[in-house]
Structure 1
């Protein structure tokens, strides 16, 4: 036995003749560690450490089935903590059955990690550690697509609270994901032959950290004022019946804020108005405020239920419909096939009148004087491609309208806000956020929170902002990190095939 073996936990277990611990227990603790480090914890920057454990386990798996089991246990443990707020909030809103059904999200989301990671082990064999970072980028890109899109848990968001977040202006959250998972692979493969890789990684982190500190040294210039209105209306009451009192509440809060000074823009949250802003009962009241406005309200397309944002300035200047709907909250995925199941479940929850919303089909940048606004409605703020499209179409300001009161008092609303902050960095645009009960905030183009209203308090808050049209590298070249990752994986596949042909049978 070598000298240093006396100092290892494994050596002491052998000397004590203790039975070996089951491998799944380590996977469970590794996933739990990542969950405890995750957003909104400031320790999230340490996420590469538990991910290194996962990468090591995947690379050492004897076959793809073992890799799948290890990845699934790790992911299930992670999402059980990262999304602990979800069943808790749904129990509060929909009762015990609603919370119980929400638990199904955990294994389903764990599969979105386990299947691609096991496939990576199957395809790349001895090159698994090298392939994993690029596979992570692609799998997280895929998790933002389709009717079940749910990007919560993306490893790249672990760097949101650090100067490394400025890399998002170069390659979006995908570049952060690549950095985190590449770090995990280097740590997982540490050894005498891997020391140059570790040194290179330390240099990369140091340079990126210093660059991030440098570009955020100067304060952001602000020459305009926005009023962010936070009505704090109970979402359960909104779901039961919309009332004129809601509209009156938002009008009164806005008038009160405008009495203390003029504003360049007023932003109301998602579904603040019970009727479309274009309705004769609503529009005159909005015009009476005599200020450019963004109003969350139902869509005004006959025969369709839509979640929309209206630009109002002397008239209705345009409407942006919500394009990405919340699965099972605003839409019923695969309803044509699963209609019998949805009918039974909705009846048990007392929601027999539930109707899926109609998603918007196009981007409409809303112009209010010289401010051109790209609007994301609630859930949409965690999808980078939407703000990217808006910036490319001429938006010089990003706005998020939300109703995070559904999240309850858990970590969900904070996670939602912190993920959305990266949209400001990716595009170098100010981001204004108005939430029903929060988070209402102003974020500058470097992702710094310039103003944040107390969550849960009713009020209208003044916040400074400005407009910008300068394109970032990410705005110019889009999701290039995903394309590069795909090319790298293709090359590794070709090299693997050639290597296997040259190997003796």
Structure 2
């Protein structure tokens, strides 16, 4: 086989495997680890495996995340000649993870029996995705299991081993497929895993399967999608129109809803400052007797000319001017702040109020019997953040976002798929409210309902259950996330020892000859 073929297979598999508006074939994403392992097995040297794996991974990342150029080019003020290379550079960086995977698998294939190789490949992939979500502030957008998020019957394993673990388990299946011809045990492994995942999807569709979770009540949540043009959102001339649009859409829901949610930075002004719009907002909540949860910039004054800015979610209760809020803790580099800004010759790549400061308090926002674990924007793609919110007592997860940055690209679909996994992992309903879509309600089985179209005004009433109890993943979070990494490191040490022993043995044989 020509060396370029598996590289192109990885790129194509990522392009159609991850969610996109044109052609989405979730099972195609399995071609990514399968072709990367083939590259590792067929390469003549570990260096070749590393280079080809890196190239394949870079092309795969670019095929899935080409959309990064859109917010940078349209809203970042950079010419397209500079915007287009941005996803290329990011893809090249993420591609290194895939290159390292192929590099290690090259050695593993020469030191491990097929069945052990299947197990190790899954552990290695799980560790690789964990690393993607950790190093350099983390960006786990290429979580493979997210490709199946719109097929809830295939993601139930996330309630036991998490999204990263599920990705690893699927990877082990592809390794088994590659070694079918030389190992019956690999064939049994792959068939058993696929059968187990399929049966789990069937079993968890029954009410008895969620016996560890308890419904403590129901809620009616209004989801308002304002569909505000990002180009004019921060223009002072449009602030009043934006505000009144949210009030108008919310009027359709207030007589039925226990709470109305508006998206991330829905209000392009400081709610903390006295003014006409602030007064109207509080009067609206009081008149309709409906709490409002809205995104808006917030600040903390340190002195006459010293302050900190926050990406904040405000909870406004009827009959009072006292507000509770949540400040986003995991900010987007170069979007909400500039890392090492004293040393880098660039500023923020997108519009906004200014450089934000990360928050610290992750306690749920409470309204009546609602205890809402807040996840702003891409906080929803990090499993550990949802885990922390539920540990603090959240009976409902809420993700507010503004995906207007991404236009009609793959990003809104991919973002929804990633966030949906948090509902399955944690056994909580998740309400997702975005400025331009896709807004939705996700249940603990990952079933997505109340979805809105992109770039339309929408006022939707969702009726989630408020959940208590723990999934296996939540209850055993430390073990589930740490054991794969520990086992991966142990196996790598074993591979190094075996490789050196084999090399020493080969050298002795050559000297004897």
Q: Normalized against structure 1, the TM-score is what?
A: 0.86
TM-superposed deviation, 1:78: 1.0
TM-superposed deviation, 1:144: 1.3
- Counterpart residue number, 1:249: 245
TM-superposed deviation, 1:402: 0.7
TM-superposed deviation, 1:64: 2.6
Out of 302, 309, 329, the residue aligned to residue 305 of structure 1 is 309
- Counterpart residue number, 1:28: 8
* Residue 456 of structure 2 corresponds to residue 474 of structure 1: no
Question: Segments of 4+ in structure 1 off by > 6 A?
Answer: 219-222
Which is worse superposed, 216-225 or 369-378?
216-225
- Counterpart residue number, 2:34: 52
- Counterpart residue number, 2:414: 415
Out of 287, 295, 299, the residue aligned to residue 282 of structure 2 is 287
Which is worse superposed, 55-64 or 467-476?
55-64
TM-superposed deviation, 1:413: 0.6
* Residue 126 of structure 2 corresponds to residue 137 of structure 1: yes
- Counterpart residue number, 1:212: 201
Q: CA 1:201 to 1:100, structure 2 compared with 1: closer, same or farther past 3 Å? A: closer
* Structure 1 CA distance for aligned equivalents of residues 350 and 74 of structure 2: 15
Q: CA 1:249 to 1:287, structure 2 compared with 1: closer, same or farther past 3 Å? A: same
**Contact 1:430–1:467 at 8 Å: present in 2 too?**
yes
The size of the alignment, in residue pairs, is 475
Deviations 1:237-274 (A, max 9, x none): 1244472332222122212332xx33111101000112
Out of 134, 157, 179, the residue aligned to residue 167 of structure 1 is 157
- Counterpart residue number, 2:62: 80
* Structure 1 CA distance for aligned equivalents of residues 51 and 353 of structure 2: 37
Write the mapping of 1:188-337 to structure 2, written as runs, cut at 5 A: 188-192=178-182, 194-218=183-207, 223-241=218-236, 243-258=239-254, 261-281=255-275, 282-288=277-283, 289=285, 290-302=289-301, 303-314=307-318, 315=320, 316-337=322-343
TM-superposed deviation, 1:50: 4.1
* Structure 2 CA distance for aligned equivalents of residues 179 and 123 of structure 1: 17
Q: Normalized against structure 2, the TM-score is what?
A: 0.85
- Structure 2 portions without partners, runs of 5+: 302-306, 509-513
- Structure 1 portions without partners, runs of 5+: 1-9, 11-20
Note the aligned Cα RMSD (angstroms).
2.7
**Contact 1:157–1:176 at 8 Å: present in 2 too?**
no
- Counterpart residue number, 1:18: none
Deviations 1:170-221 (A, max 9, x none): 12102211112111211222223x2222123212221221221221245998
Q: CA 1:101 to 1:80, structure 2 compared with 1: closer, same or farther past 3 Å? A: closer
- Counterpart residue number, 2:511: none
Q: CA 1:208 to 1:29, structure 2 compared with 1: closer, same or farther past 3 Å? A: closer
TM-superposed deviation, 1:46: 3.4
* Residue 83 of structure 2 corresponds to residue 99 of structure 1: yes
**Contact 1:63–1:122 at 8 Å: present in 2 too?**
no
Write the mapping of 1:412-491 to structure 2, written as runs, cut at 5 A: 412-491=411-490
**Contact 1:229–1:459 at 8 Å: present in 2 too?**
yes
TM-superposed deviation, 1:386: 0.8
**Contact 1:24–1:73 at 8 Å: present in 2 too?**
no
- Counterpart residue number, 1:15: none
